[in-house]
Structures are given as C-alpha cells and as structure tokens.
Structure 1
Amino acid sequence: MNSTDSPPRSAAPLCAGPLTVLGIDVTSAPGRRKPLACAAGILQADTLHIDRLHAVTALHGLPRHTGANTPWQAEMLLCAPPASLEHLLAHKGPWIAGFDMPFGLPAAFLHWWQQAQRDCRTPLRKAAPLCEPASELPCWQDYVSSLAQLDKDAFRQTIYAFMNTRPTGHKLPLRLTDAQTAAQSPLRLNYVPVGRMFHALVPLLASCGINIPLLRPTTDSRTAIEVYPALAARAVLGNPPRYKDGTGAQRQQRTQARAALLEALPEYCRTIGGLALSVRPQLYQTMLQDTAGDFADALLCAVLTALAVRRRDAGMPPVPHLKMYHEGCIALQDMFCPPQPHGSGTTAPA
C-alpha cells in the first residue's frame, strides 16, 4: 500500500454479540519466572466479565498431539491457559486482544531502514533525517517481515547503528502516538525494553493474518490492538502511578496502591466509558500478591480493550495521521490525552 493512498481504517466491524476480550502484559522472553500475563473475559453488552488470569510461559509451540489446523474456539481461552502466544493466536474468533507493547517503529527509523535496504554497500552510514515524509515510509507488513529475519543480536546492532547516526537528544525518537501519550520510544532496548518486545512478538501478529486496525486491516474475526495500561493507571492514581515493584517499605506502599487501583477501577470504567467491570473475587488476591504488577497491568489492558471495542474503529483516532498507518497507534489515546494538531494535508480520510 502506498502512503499517498487512502488506507482502509478497519476491514470488518467487531463482533456485535458476546466477545472474548484479552488483556496481555508483555515480556520479550516469557518463562515461568516472568510469563506473559493475560486477563481473559467476556464483553457482553455493557459489562466486561473477567474470569481468568493466565500465565503464558512461551512465545512458540502448540499443545502436543495437535496441528496448526486444530479448531480451538475462543471460549477455550476462558478455561485453560494457552501453551504459548502462538497457541493463543491460533484460537478461532471472535476475540480481541490488547497488547501492552508497540506494534510499530518510529518514522525516523523506518526512513533510515528503508534507505539502508536500498543501498546495501553503505547501509549503516547514512544520517537519519529528523523529519520524514509519510509518503516515503515502508508499509508495516514489509518492514516487520524484514526485521523479523534478524536475530536478537543483529536487531540490537541495527538499532545501535541507527542511534549512531542521530544527534544527541534524538537518539531514541518517538512515534506520534508515543509523544501524545508520554510512552517510551519503541527503540528502547533497556530499562523497559519495548524494542525487544516488538522484535520478539510483533512478527507473530504479522504472520497469523489477524485484523490489526490501521496497520493491517483484515476481515479476520481475531483482532489485536496496542494498548497502554499507564493511561488508565495515571487517570486513577495520578502521575506517575506507583503501584509496581519497589523494595522494603516501598513494596507495602505499592501493594496498597494496587489495592486502591483495583478498588477504584470499576467506578472509573463506568464514569469514562459506561462500562461495568466484573472481576472474580479470587483474582483480586492474585493481582495484589503480584508485586511486579503484571496481572494488574493485564487487567488494565483488558479494560482498555473493552473500552476500545465500544468506540468506532477499535479506539483509533477519528482522523489518523498518515504516519500512524506505518508507525501504529495506541488505542484510546484521544480519550486520555488531548489531540495534537497535525497540520494541513497530513491526515488520512476517514
């Protein structure tokens, strides 16, 4: 798809009946000590029922004695934890999942990467421009597939090579959506390594044919959107919301903050989006005891996903900037953050 075309906003409406909703807090290398945290439930009319918290301990792999064409139903996600992210994505729709990770990369990097691909003789020496016309950016499916061919070390070295072409203060550029929501750069490889999350997980989304609004709309009844639990946490607890990790006395304070967050969340859902939230009582204890806050974040992801379902185009902006068809967009950013003007001639038609 050429950037100068008018891209489709959404290929198919989301399910009008009961819909399986998943909220997924992401790690780039899930295992038993640090799994993908998943909150699973059903959105029925105006109520989100959260029934399960799953710990997904692998990215790849299907259950034994099954094949890729096994018809796993969406309802099964409310029963047993999926064996892997690949297994989760293989479940038939209708379902929608909100992932706490960037689905795309900044335009500055994409422009540099595309130029590097065109000139294989000196791919890592070209200076990356600070402003990039959207009409010259590669399409999402193409650059995700290309970067997926790099192993972890090669991807890391590619990011560092890009950073070396940038002036001080511009090493880690943001996407438009990151700037609006105060999110991390998707190129960050340490502290909150969202770049590693992108490289490890997004190719799985790109390869399984699911509907991804703006970036790769399809008619599939499985949908994935990018959500940012900090948006809801800030709104409930203030900024910065401190409800995770900590040491010593901090840990007790942050457990209390998680309790306050979980207690206030149902009323907040009703106020901001007319959404009733119902969570099994025993799940609250799991979220309170999880000092990392991963399961609390998974719940926030599920709530944001349900709120997005109730809005047009799964929570995408009413008039997306053209770059968002390449970079991606955090769902509901306009609900939580005041929109920023894009200037004339830069938006895609609705």
Structure 2
Amino acid sequence: MGLLVGCDFSSSPTSRKAIVCARGSQARGRLVLEGLDKLHSLEAFSQWLRKDPAWIGAFDLPFGLPRELVVALGWPLEWEACMRHYAGLSRDEIRRVFAAFCDARPAGGKFAHRATDAPAQSSPSMKWVNPPVAFMLHAGVPRLLEAGVYLPGLQPRPVPATEESVRVGLEAYPGLIARSVLGNRSYKSDDKAKQTPDRLIARKDLLNALETGQTRWDVRLKLSHAQRDALVDDASGDSLDAVLCLFLAAWAEVQHQQGHLLYGLPQDMDPLEGWIVSA
C-alpha cells in the first residue's frame, strides 16, 4: 500500500501554531507512523501538498458549505464553481455575509448545517469563530485544488487515474475518533492553564485504543516509544489530531482496496456539501 497523510490544519499558521501533517503507510495489518511535518505558513502547506506524486490524505477542514446556505445566498450549486466563488471573497466579506444570514434566523437555529454534521457531531462549516472552520475551508480547499488533489464525491475521478498518479483528499474530523474512545473527556487544549494531568491521561488512553485496535475502524497504529512520548507530550493535541486524520486515511485506503470507489464515502452523499470520511 502507498503513502498516507493526515493533516491537522490551521487557516492562520504561525511558528507557534503550525499546520501538522503526519506521514505513514500500512504494512502487515498495521499503520506505521513515519513522521510529522510542521508547516508554519500556507505557502509551505501548498508546497508540501506537491512534494509527493501520490497519496491518500485526510484533512481536518471542511470541503463544502451547507446546501441551504448556498441556495439562500444565490451562489453556484455546482461544487467547484461554488468553491471558486467562495475563494474570491475576503474573510471580512465571508464574516459579513454569514453574520447577516445568521441574524435573519431564529435563536437556536442561526447556522445552516450539512447532512454530515449530525452523524459526525461536527461544527457547521459556515462557522467563523470557535472554531473558524469557514476560514479553514477558505484557506485549504483552494490550495488542494491548485495542487491537483482529487476529492472523491465532489469531483470526477481524474483520467488516467492510476494509483501512482493521484493525490486523494478526504475531509476528516479527529473528534469523531476521540469521542468514540473517550466520550466527553477532553484530551487537548491550547491554553497552558488547561493542559492538565487528566488531559494527558486521556491522550494516553486514546493512543492505547489506536494501538490495540479498540476502535470501530479496524485499523491498528504502530508507534515507536519516542513517537508515543512525543504525541502524549504535545498538550495542544495538534500532533495527535494529525495522527487521528492519518488513521482515517488508512481506513479509507482499506475501503478503496475492497472496491469502494469513493474511499468509504456514502454513494448518495450531497455532491455540493461533501462528507466527513467514515461519519
């Protein structure tokens, strides 16, 4: 099997809060973590996407907007045209348009949701604060397109589409795995005051479940002692989130090997909204 990547994305990466990308591959029934790359700018991310000619990657950022929102705004209903329109807006314009949409709606239903949000328990992709996933989409998806990444379910499969010539990108949500293992226990925080022993123990428990196969994804992670220590010691959880995305990429690779053309995504997914892999 080939190269797998998992990406914990940031729409405004810095030297203190990098984009973290995990690299790995599957061998003899185990997912082997080969390394972590920390990228301190969006340009570095664009370059990283092009570094290898083929991979299956899972990215922690939304790939689409809610159909209800797009229809209400009168934006293109074809995914790529919608994304190119969206990429042409500034973040201030996005904030203003989305705020006006929310202001016109009743309390308790301000945001529009994608169909995938309910099973994944994910934030609406139009949310611009806490977390600013709307800006993650705005920063990430155009760079995936520029790098020629194929997004199953949203684009036609490229031709020729040999395994050696395609970069495959899937939308991922690390919280999907973390919640299945830990329930409501928190395992990370960017706030140093909240980087508690309980969260450290939660990271250990989560890694133990990944390594021993105690998840519904039927993938087992293989780590060195040094890798495990580094993932536990990163109290922000960024490195662990990249590995969780890598884990989902491995699951998608298995689905593809078993004949699922959309890498485990549902055949009836909305081709405008997109879908979180394995949700």
The alignment's TM-score, normalised by the length of structure 2, stands at 0.89
- For residue 52 of structure 1, give the secondary structure of its aligned residue in structure 2: strand
- C-alpha distance in 2, partners of 1:113/1:262? 43
Q: Is the 8 A contact 1:25 1:36 kept in 2?
A: yes
Aligned equivalent of 1:339: none
Give the stretch that moved more between structures: 244-253 or 200-209: 244-253
Aligned equivalent of 1:107: 67
- For residue 146 of structure 1, give the secondary structure of its aligned residue in structure 2: helix
- For residue 325 of structure 1, give the secondary structure of its aligned residue in structure 2: coil
Alignment deviations for residues 146-189 of structure 1 (CA, whole Å, 9 cap, x no partner): 11111221121121122233233221111000122111011111
Is 1:261 the counterpart of 2:209 in the alignment? no
- C-alpha distance in 1, partners of 2:69/2:207? 38
Aligned equivalent of 1:32: 15
Work out which of the residue numbers 76, 80, 93 in structure 2 matches 1:154.
93
In structure 2, what residue type is equivalent to 1:23?
A: G
In structure 1, what residue type is equivalent to 2:264?
A: G
Aligned equivalent of 2:173: 228
Is 1:298 the counterpart of 2:242 in the alignment? yes
Q: Is the 8 A contact 1:106 1:186 kept in 2?
A: yes
Aligned equivalent of 2:80: 141
- C-alpha distance in 2, partners of 1:249/1:298? 21
1:208 Cα deviation from its structure 2 partner: 2.7
Aligned equivalent of 1:47: 30
Query: Which structure has the bigger radius of gyration?
Result: 1
- For residue 37 of structure 1, give the secondary structure of its aligned residue in structure 2: strand
* Structure 1: runs of 5+ lacking an equivalent: 1-17, 61-83, 118-136, 334-350
In structure 2, what residue type is equivalent to 1:303?
A: F
RMSD of aligned Cα (Å)? 1.9
1:218 Cα deviation from its structure 2 partner: 2.8
Is 1:202 the counterpart of 2:141 in the alignment? yes
* Structure 2: runs of 5+ lacking an equivalent: 159-164
1:213 Cα deviation from its structure 2 partner: 0.6
* Identity among equivalent pairs (%): 32
Q: Which has the higher contact order (CA 8 A, sep 6+)?
A: 2
Aligned equivalent of 1:237: 182
Is 1:320 the counterpart of 2:268 in the alignment? yes
Alignment deviations for residues 36-59 of structure 1 (CA, whole Å, 9 cap, x no partner): 111111223532110101111111
Count of residues in Structure 1 that have an aligned counterpart in Structure 2: 267
In structure 2, what residue type is equivalent to 1:108?
A: E
Q: Is the 8 A contact 1:227 1:330 kept in 2?
A: yes
- C-alpha distance in 2, partners of 1:249/1:95? 36
1:248 Cα deviation from its structure 2 partner: 4.7
Give the stretch that moved more between structures: 168-177 or 260-269: 260-269
Aligned equivalent of 2:233: 289
Change (3 A) 1:92 1:291: closer
In structure 1, what residue type is equivalent to 2:120?
A: T
Is 1:275 the counterpart of 2:219 in the alignment? yes
- For residue 154 of structure 1, give the secondary structure of its aligned residue in structure 2: helix
1:25 Cα deviation from its structure 2 partner: 0.7
- For residue 103 of structure 1, give the secondary structure of its aligned residue in structure 2: coil
Change (3 A) 1:221 1:45: farther
1:278 Cα deviation from its structure 2 partner: 1.3
- C-alpha distance in 2, partners of 1:320/1:93? 29
Query: What does 1:333-344 align with in structure 2 at a 5 Å threshold?
Result: 333=279
- C-alpha distance in 1, partners of 2:46/2:114? 27
- For residue 14 of structure 2, give the secondary structure of its aligned residue in structure 1: coil
Aligned equivalent of 2:106: 167
- For residue 213 of structure 2, give the secondary structure of its aligned residue in structure 1: helix
- For residue 202 of structure 2, give the secondary structure of its aligned residue in structure 1: helix
